[in-house]
Structure 1
Amino acid sequence: MDYLTITSIRDRPAISILASVVAYGALYIVLRAVYRLFLHPLSAFPGPRLAAATSLWKAYYQCTGSFTHHLIDLHKIYGPVVRIQPHELHFQSTDAFFDIYNTKNRWDKDAALYHSFGEDESSFGYVSHLEAKERRDVLSKIFSPKAVEEAEHLILMKVNNFCAALTRQNAAGKPSDLLFAFRCVTMDVITYLCFGQSGNAVDEPDFHDPLIEAMHNSTALVPVFFHFKIIRKLIMGMPPEMAKKSAPETAGLINMQVLLKKQIDRHVNDPETLETLPHKTTIYHILLDPKSHKSRGPASAKSLYEESQALMFGGGDTTANVIMVGTFYLLKRPDLVQKLQDELREYWPDLVPGREPKLSVLEEMPFLNAVIKESLRIGPGIPSGLPRIIPAGGAVVDGNKVPAGTVVSTSSWFVHHDESIFPEPDVFKPERWQGEQAKELEKYLVPFSKGARMCLGFNLGWAELRMVFAHTYRKFDLELADESPRADHLPWRDVFGPNYQKPNLTVWMRPAKG
């Protein structure tokens, strides 16, 4: 018997074992798919068969397209509830929204999504209700109505810096890219309030701040991070210099992360350095207070860093997007711009520095607030579903009995485009927020979600919206630049938040004469 024959015989057991493993693996996949399709507790719910059989169906549509737009089509086919993963249901109706997101529910978040952002130990990333509530109770010292009122002068300072930058841009003979310009001012506000310092993004040439651009570029990766955690760990685990070489477009974000970590380490190791910050209500003052958390000591450096990341992403893009979307639709209706500017001149007759109207005055302006509400309604906000896990004992969602352990979700996008509540939902109509019907509509305006886990910064968000809208339309006359989009709607892709497609909204910002 020659050597090759002996080797062949010796290898047969290994080949047989490998073949058995493959065969049993294939059998397991087939049996699991059969169970999910016909025997699973969710098997009676409608939806694509592949979605019921494998999570890869959702991964494909989220990573290659815009999932919210796909869901709109699916609900037209299958009805108000669709099974979108073996263990997940998506709901369309407004009733379902309020069944899932309300103050009575103590449902946990789905870790599969919320732990894909690298912010596990933050008010956003804590999946259990109890952990999140304790952190939110602490941070409310920064985001309460009283705290925002006390910070009004800080917000005004950043908004005035923004208006000065718009004036310089116009003097240089250039229009302003408002996708980035509005994000620069909201980022300057959130970083200064929360960290005691900001990068003065509004001063960057053409508002193309490296951090803002990097955040914009990185959002497209969110669906990939969600479904393929190994990719997220590889990218986020790289040393900073290697990461910048691998993805140069994210350099601004990586540099900010490095600075944040250094700042946090300095404050954690030497709390006396907190005295050097320009105000005393930063997250460092709040979260490093030994008495801040009831069940544990002050936040760790890791938790502080992840909370900082969550606040930057949550407090930067979302508010800016609303202002940009509102501006896009306003500029298509010169009569609305004129009406807004007339009201602003009535409440703010003189453009004298130091005599800007207080937030309390802006809150009383009916048409300004109608414009903001309609901008919040028609813009996508966070179009992606915010998944919650049905607790033990199950629950009823929109009349459907849903078993424990099921992931359920919907989003404000479906509420805000419910034709039975908002006729002509794709039409920008601020007047719908004025008159007798306006009060009834208020409960259906849910851009910050609802319930115990709603957006923590909604008071700050409203303050920024009122101040930036008011200063922009009182101090400037706006005109669409040639390179601006001319479509009826701003195209966007759902990547948890909206990722707006080019061309960006670009506008001539000419200082008003009085």
Structure 2
Amino acid sequence: MTSFVFWLSELRQSPALVSLAVSIFAVVGYCVHAYWVSPLHRYPGPFLAKFTNLWRLYRISRGDFHKELQALHEKYGPVVRIGPNVLDIDYPDLNKTVFNTKGDWRKTEAYLGSNVVVDGQIVYNVFSELDKTKHANGKRPIAKYYSATGVATIEPHVDKIISQFCDEIETRFIGSDNTKPVSSTTPFNLGTWTNFYTWDVIGALTFSQPLGYLSKGFDFDGTIKIAEKAIEYFGLLTAMPSLDYWFDKNPIYRLGPPGFANVGGISVQHMIDRYQNADSAYHDPSKPDYLDRFIEAKHDNPDSVNDAQVVSWLMINMIAGADTTATIIRNAVYYSLKNRHVWTRLRADLASAGLTADQTPLPLKPLRAIPYLEAIVNESLRILPAVILSMERYVPPGGQRLLDGSIVPENTILGFNLYVLGRNKKVWGEDAEEFKPERWLQNTGEGDDEYKTRLQEMHNAALSFGGGSRICLGKHMGLMQVYKVVATLAVRYEVELAHPEREWRVVNHFFPMQDGLEVKIARRV
């Protein structure tokens, strides 16, 4: 006891020792709470994840966190603790509860990294806005432009870029000799050219001007590379969102890395050009683009919509409209060619519907009536979702009872990973790892009601475009392009994987970055 009193006396004489002692007690107290006292201590998971989000940050930085999560669920079960206050959930039955239209399951700060700073002001978008009222107000003026009916009016813009996409491929990789067999043509990276297409088409849809990647054949201004780096950065921020205020949003000195400011600059410049009529060389007011519609929304809602809101709408078109669409197109083509019978059946079904190469770009309406094409798209979204880091939500007041009977307290973060949910064997069966479009079709002997119930369960489990009040605004716009591009490639060309024995490489940066869609292509005779 005397020694302890002497130690306290010495401690009071040294501020440095006081600080050290306080720090040690704080760390020890935090660790004891995280491991033993936290209401989440009962849930299994990696040891370090119980104490710090640095574990998750590191794992995400490796680019394979979707596979890590799948392995953790196989080891620990449907509930895995991946952070001091984060559980990852593989309970598809909860999806409708969490992703509802009430908006009572709040988005977490993980989404704030997609904000940008414009003229010193942080600009939110419909993806990053956490407040449900502000989100609804930001979405309401433009929702009609993204409906199935609204998107149908922009199909001519899409057709123009698909035609250019085909022309560039034929000029660069096929040439004038249409008699050459596909095996003798020059291999090229169709994945890269798909990305050029989606960026150009989003430029045409948004500003009436393709950005120029197809015509130039490379990322001439670095925007695509910057966007990839920004998505990589955004993926890291989902683990520790506060880092954004030290790096991209630092009010004193921005430390980087590349954020979405480049896309913001493009959006602002196009808006200024439109106001000043400086884009008349390519903009036809009789064929409105999304910038026209956003300005119209501003005029119709002067009290709630300003130029900053217009910029946020433009940016979400650019950020979410290009890379995600390219991901789904690449999935559909790669997995269909990898499973050759799928590509063969798709071509047969397109032919049975009377669709030929002479009609390309193919119109959307007859394509939506082909069940097997829809099944390929659904399966492509399941096997490799366009978002493969977990979608996070805060548990609302009152907590949430899980299927194991435990109650998760309010303000706990629940993550729902689409890659993991897409492999839940209770929903998808023992062949969940297989690319099998047929699972989306009605089985022989299966009744209509039974099929409808099973189909709805699969859609609920897949959550391909989110759900409830936060369902993806650009769903119809993206799907239109996927249907049209995949079908156009199938009816117009002979396509083979250049290296069918190889697996492509997928890196998880929130969006999956795929590499290895090397193909040989020839015109169908």
Contact persistence 1:84–1:90 (CA under 8 A)? yes
Query: Which of 474, 498, 505 matches 1:457?
Result: 474
Query: Which of 368, 373, 383 matches 2:378?
Result: 373
Residue 348 (structure 1) shift: 3.8
Task: State the match for 2:492 in structure 1.
Answer: 475
Aligned to 1:498, the other structure's residue is in SS state strand
Task: State the match for 2:98 in structure 1.
Answer: 100
Residue 509 (structure 1) shift: 1.9
TM-score (norm 2): 0.83
1:195-253 per-residue CA deviation (whole Å, 9 max, x = no partner) reads 333213222326888433332344333344443755675457799xx99xx98xx79x8
Please tell me whether residue 486 in structure 1 is matched to residue 501 in structure 2. Answer: yes
1:246-281 per-residue CA deviation (whole Å, 9 max, x = no partner) reads 98xx79x876543323223455xx477798843334
- Give the Cα separation in 2 of the matches to 1:15 and 1:493: 54
- Give the Cα separation in 2 of the matches to 1:206 and 1:442: 41
Query: Which of 21, 38, 41 matches 2:39?
Result: 41
Query: Which of 291, 295, 311 matches 2:317?
Result: 311
Query: Which of 425, 434, 437 matches 2:432?
Result: 425
Query: Which of 50, 53, 56 matches 2:54?
Result: 56
- Give the Cα separation in 1 of the matches to 2:425 and 2:366: 33
Unaligned runs of 5+ in 2: 1-9, 117-122, 176-184
TM-score (norm 1): 0.84
- Give the Cα separation in 2 of the matches to 1:281 and 1:40: 52
Residue 506 (structure 1) shift: 0.9
- Give the Cα separation in 2 of the matches to 1:509 and 1:238: 50
Contact persistence 1:122–1:310 (CA under 8 A)? yes
Please tell me whether residue 512 in structure 1 is matched to residue 512 in structure 2. Answer: no
The change in CA–CA distance for 1:396 and 1:193 in structure 2 (over 3 A counts) is farther
Task: State the match for 2:363 in structure 1.
Answer: 358
Task: State the match for 1:320 in structure 2.
Answer: 326
Amino acid at match of 2:132: H
The change in CA–CA distance for 1:48 and 1:255 in structure 2 (over 3 A counts) is closer
Contact persistence 2:174–2:521 (CA under 8 A)? no
- Give the Cα separation in 1 of the matches to 2:28 and 2:365: 63
Please tell me whether residue 117 in structure 1 is matched to residue 114 in structure 2. Answer: yes
Task: State the match for 1:339 in structure 2.
Answer: 345
- Give the Cα separation in 2 of the matches to 1:164 and 1:333: 27
Task: State the match for 1:72 in structure 2.
Answer: 70
Task: State the match for 2:6 in structure 1.
Answer: none
Residue 55 (structure 1) shift: 2.2
Aligned to 1:380, the other structure's residue is in SS state coil
Query: Which of 135, 138, 141 matches 1:135?
Result: 138
Please tell me whether residue 216 in structure 1 is matched to residue 228 in structure 2. Answer: yes
Task: State the match for 1:8 in structure 2.
Answer: none
Contact persistence 1:323–1:465 (CA under 8 A)? yes
- Give the Cα separation in 2 of the matches to 1:207 and 1:469: 23
Query: Which of 411, 420, 426 matches 2:417?
Result: 411
Contact persistence 1:142–1:281 (CA under 8 A)? no
Contact persistence 1:288–1:298 (CA under 8 A)? no
Residue 179 (structure 1) shift: 1.8
Task: State the match for 2:120 in structure 1.
Answer: none
Aligned to 2:81, the other structure's residue is in SS state strand
Contact persistence 2:187–2:521 (CA under 8 A)? yes
Task: State the match for 1:6 in structure 2.
Answer: none
Unaligned runs of 5+ in 1: 1-11
Task: State the match for 1:392 in structure 2.
Answer: 397
Amino acid at match of 2:21: A
The change in CA–CA distance for 1:287 and 1:133 in structure 2 (over 3 A counts) is farther
Aligned to 2:306, the other structure's residue is in SS state coil
Task: State the match for 1:176 in structure 2.
Answer: 188
Task: State the match for 1:82 in structure 2.
Answer: 80
- Give the Cα separation in 2 of the matches to 1:337 and 1:126: 40
Task: State the match for 1:26 in structure 2.
Answer: 24
Contact persistence 1:116–1:225 (CA under 8 A)? yes
- Say how many residue pairs are matched: 485
Aligned to 1:324, the other structure's residue is in SS state helix
Please tell me whether residue 188 in structure 1 is matched to residue 195 in structure 2. Answer: no
The change in CA–CA distance for 1:458 and 1:117 in structure 2 (over 3 A counts) is same
Aligned to 2:14, the other structure's residue is in SS state helix
Amino acid at match of 1:285: R
Contact persistence 1:222–1:496 (CA under 8 A)? yes
Query: Which of 492, 496, 501 matches 2:510?
Result: 496
- Give the Cα separation in 2 of the matches to 1:372 and 1:209: 31
- Give the Cα separation in 1 of the matches to 2:21 and 2:68: 35
Contact persistence 2:99–2:466 (CA under 8 A)? yes
The change in CA–CA distance for 1:29 and 1:135 in structure 2 (over 3 A counts) is same
Contact persistence 1:110–1:407 (CA under 8 A)? yes
Q: Percent identity of the aligned residues?
A: 23
Please tell me whether residue 382 in structure 1 is matched to residue 397 in structure 2. Answer: no
Residue correspondence of structure 1 range 235-250 to structure 2 within 5 A? none
Residue 345 (structure 1) shift: 2.4
